[in-house]
Amino acid sequence: GDSVTQMEGPVTLSEEAFLTINCTYTATGYPSLFWYVQYPGEGLQLLLKATKADDKGSNKGFEATYRKETTSFHLEKGSVQVSDSAVYFCALGSNYGGSQGNLIFGKGTKLSVKP
């Protein structure tokens, strides 16, 4: 079945460091890909998404490119801030078969940014 694998955390960076959180997926069909972020004490909120191969999603300085050839959707940010400290979830939106319409989430990567 469809699945998402993202790098295990926690990740600790200094302010202004470069961030990469790896995400790879397995899917039948042509899924949409999402990154969600969960700040402490809150629900998940969409950070960015891409709906087809080679699309780049971007928001708040974060970027991720839908790479069909490597089945990846890695999250990057050139210069992180303390306020980026949160848990980041990669997710796949299936449009095929029994799980159509459902989001399949990775386990989440906790990011801590130190001043």
Q: Which of 25, 80, 84, 106 binds other proteins (CB under 8 A)?
A: 106
- Distance of closest approach, residue 102 Cβ to other proteins, in angstroms: 6
One-letter amino acid identity for 5?
T
Site string for other proteins, 72-91 (x = CB under 8 A): -----------------x--
- Distance of closest approach, residue 115 Cβ to other proteins, in angstroms: 27
Beta bridge partners of 57: 64
DSSP secondary structure letter of residue 42? S
**Burial level of 16, CB count in 10 A (0-12/13-18/19+)?**
exposed
The verdict on 59 binding other proteins (CB under 8 A) reads no
